[in-house]
Structure 1
């Protein structure tokens, strides 16, 4: 049986596979998170702001939502799908991943309610997010001792999720009255203890694999020492940030910039035997190319701080990472997984191409905004670009997860 136009969309299909539910939650969370952030920035940049300053400063709350609720929705959807496959174990059932989806979706809804003035909802949002996170860890952990042998990529991702649980605890401590250092530490852990290690781990395992599947003669290169080097740099950068040793960050950021440049050169899918890289594959590596750009910006910032004591470039390096690397790879990976797991050919749909190009414009706008006058207005334009650029893609994703597979197979 193959999908027909008469097949109705159904919410029940979200329970058919982890990626359906968690990617649907993630897609919805993108729209809600960026709608609030865009509105808040427009309000803040106007002469008469109409939106309240949340109990948690809005910029930090935006970071928390993106790092611990929005992006992890997609991450858990991916990991709950691939852990059993990486380890040749039975697939997980709905009872394992439904609590994760409820926690991350309900947690973000409550957090955004808190951002709009319902202060007690912030505590509920934190509690639901933590509960969903623990449910995800509980579902994934048994695979680590049931597998035959050791899957280092799985252990790396799981370690990052455990580190992030510590970050969630720090955010909860701040809500309970601890100093602002706990909030700062939570955000830094989210970046360099969770998102960057997970993204780098998945890239290390999947990018050469994807390229090797479609490019004849492609030489896969993914030594385990590279994975260890990623973790070492992430931990070192995190430690220096936490003690505010900004002038010494160049000691880890410059090597990371050089390493990621070399990585892009080694991994890039060059034309072989008159083949050219398919667009869906190319988008992954364009996203990867934002990594050396990110760490070049971080390096320049820390070297300048060492020389002058001035902290220039603002959040430009962070947004090269968040939007350029995390955002671009998100679109490429989610599109690929969605196409493959919905029984469709592995090609880049026009609607995903539009989203990918839009996110490149958004990241450039957000980086340049740091040196422009009226920065809040440019921040708002960049945030609005997320909505305009990714909106159609997100609606396409939602419809796909509610529809049966195109090839009639289960899942």
Structure 2
């Protein structure tokens, strides 16, 4: 009697990572996401508990900000843009020889920098230059696509402009490490948030969120005026200039209009009809943007009137954890499902990560106002790890496996 064995599940292989830019870069970003926060959580716990950890080459808080802004989030950004730039412009998809060097630079750079936090001091500079090489390779590839396109895709140009600012911020941090003024480290950290990450996030939201909603919500009208994006860019640059000048009492001049712009976008983009979970998380995450600027406005006006710098780093963490973290889960889950031949639904593990990151964001914002702030910072860092670990494990398996529908990519 012939017995037919059940079909075996697809074998996981690292070779699958080179099949598409998002596979490689999202896999690297997911690893960076946990490794960077694992070190930061350990450092915070050591400070709180009075333990000893190896001395870092630069102030640990600056290093944490640098790694998150220039290695963790950009891994996902490059993965997304290397995938969508050819589609936005009607050009041929990139080959693995275009994006593998980008991934190697960002992953190698992060690993070397984290090794330096364990005591191998020489690895720090090596890691910085590996990161610079990966960044430069990514910019060259994307720049060539912009040059080759027959028309002008303004969303692509907006993202590229933000990446150029990020590259300058990366150079500023390297210059500081090599002996230049600490003001360059400060400038690098501020550029990372308002020159690099926020412009990219807002550009992608402006192009994609109304498009996604129009595809699934009956009667939805996409609202994507380029004037809104141009105004956002101008105001973000104004905020950045004021921060670089330490003019915190006057940040409200840029942040009040940014608050109004963010509320307008949330109101115009939010679907009025029933929407699936994979779409809902985009707009829930987007709601952190007006929360962020409301905190910045209150902080700036309070400083102007009383000289009291209330809320500490709460506005920044509302932005980084609430806004960037939420939309990271939402967008990466969507791209992963769609480009892996899986149903366009929000899996349970992604829901867990998304809901948990809302709690972590609220906790980290509140930590600035609670007694024993360092304890709550530790709890929030551990919460980040717990929120993301199951989600990272799932998407990691997907990137290491063939597409569910048998197609290439």
- Report the TM-score when normalising by structure 2: 0.97
> Are 1:290 and 2:288 counterparts?
yes
Distance 2:400 2:187 in 1: 38
- Match for residue 30 of structure 2 among 22, 27, 32: 27
Would you say 1:11 and 2:9 are equivalent positions? Answer: no
- 1:357 and 2:359 matched: no
Q: Check whether the contact 2:228–2:261 (CA below 8 A) recurs between aligned residues.
A: no
Distance, in Å, in 1 between the alignment partners of 2:303 and 2:114 is: 35
Farther-moved stretch of structure 1 (137-146 vs 277-286) = 137-146
Corresponding residue number in structure 1 for 2:3: none
Per the alignment, residue 384 of structure 1 pairs with 382
Separation (CA, whole Å) in 2 of partners of 1:89 and 1:70: 28
| Gapped regions of structure 1 (runs ≥ 5) | none
Partner of 1:196: 198
Distance (Å, rounded) in 1 between the aligned partners of 2:123 and 2:188: 19
In the alignment, the residues of structure 2 paired with residue 252 and residue 301 of structure 1 have an alpha-carbon distance, to the nearest angstrom, of 13
Q: 2-side partners of 1:66 and 1:309: how far apart? A: 30
Please give the per-residue CA displacement for 1:349-391, whole angstroms capped at 9, x wherever unaligned. Answer: 0000000000000000000000111111110110101111110
**2:341·2:405 contact (CA, 8 Å) conserved in 1?**
yes
Matches within 5 A, 1:147-226: 147-226=149-228
What does residue 81 of structure 2 align with?
79
Q: Deviations over 1:93-122 (max 9, x none)?
A: 000000000000000011111223322211
Q: Secondary structure at the match of 2:34?
A: helix
Conserved 8 A contact 2:232-2:261:
no
Q: Which residue of structure 2 lines up, in the alignment, with residue 235 of structure 1?
A: 237
Q: More deviation in 109-118 or 214-223?
A: 109-118
Give how far 1:219 is off: 0.7
> Which residue number corresponds to residue 302 of structure 1?
300
Equivalent of residue 54 in structure 2, options 52, 62, 75: 52
Q: Deviations over 1:296-328 (max 9, x none)?
A: 000000001111112111110000000000000
C-alpha distance in 2 between matches for 1:302 and 1:395: 40
What is the aligned-residue RMSD (CA, Å)? 1.0
Alpha-carbon distance in structure 1 between the residues aligned to 2:115 and 2:179: 20
Q: Give the aligned partner of residue 322 of structure 2.
A: 324
Q: Where in structure 1 do 4 or more consecutive aligned residues deviate above 4 Å?
A: none
Residue 144 of structure 1: aligned partner: 146
Checking the alignment, whether the CA contact within 8 Å between 2:220 and 2:271 is kept in structure 1 is yes
How much does 1:254 deviate?
A: 0.9
Q: Deviations over 1:107-145 (max 9, x none)?
A: 001111122332221111110000000000111111112
Q: Partner of 1:117 in structure 2?
A: 119
Q: Secondary structure at the match of 1:371?
A: coil
What SS does the aligned partner of 1:280 have?
helix
1:105 is the counterpart of 2:107: yes
**Aligned pairs (5 A) from 1:400-411:** 400-411=398-409
Inter-CA distance 350–5: structure 2 relative to 1 (3 Å threshold): farther
Distance 1:336 1:370 in 2: 33
Aligned to 1:348, which of 323, 346, 349?
346
Alpha-carbon distance between aligned partners in 1 of 2:8 and 2:43, rounded to the nearest angstrom: 40
How far, CA to CA, are the matches of 2:192 and 2:176 in structure 1? 15
| 1:33-60: CA deviation from partner (whole Å, max 9, x where unpaired) | 01101111000101x3221341211111
Output the CA distance in 2 between the equivalents of 1:5 and 1:141.
Answer: 43
Aligned counterpart in structure 2 of residue 38 of structure 1, from 33, 37, 41: 41
Q: Deviations over 1:239-276 (max 9, x none)?
A: 000010111100011111111111101100111xxxx1
Alignment-derived partner of residue 367 in structure 2: 369
**1:5, CA displacement in angstroms?**
4.1
> Which residue is 2:4 aligned to?
none
Aligned ranges for residues 276-287 of structure 1 at < 5 Å? 276-287=274-285
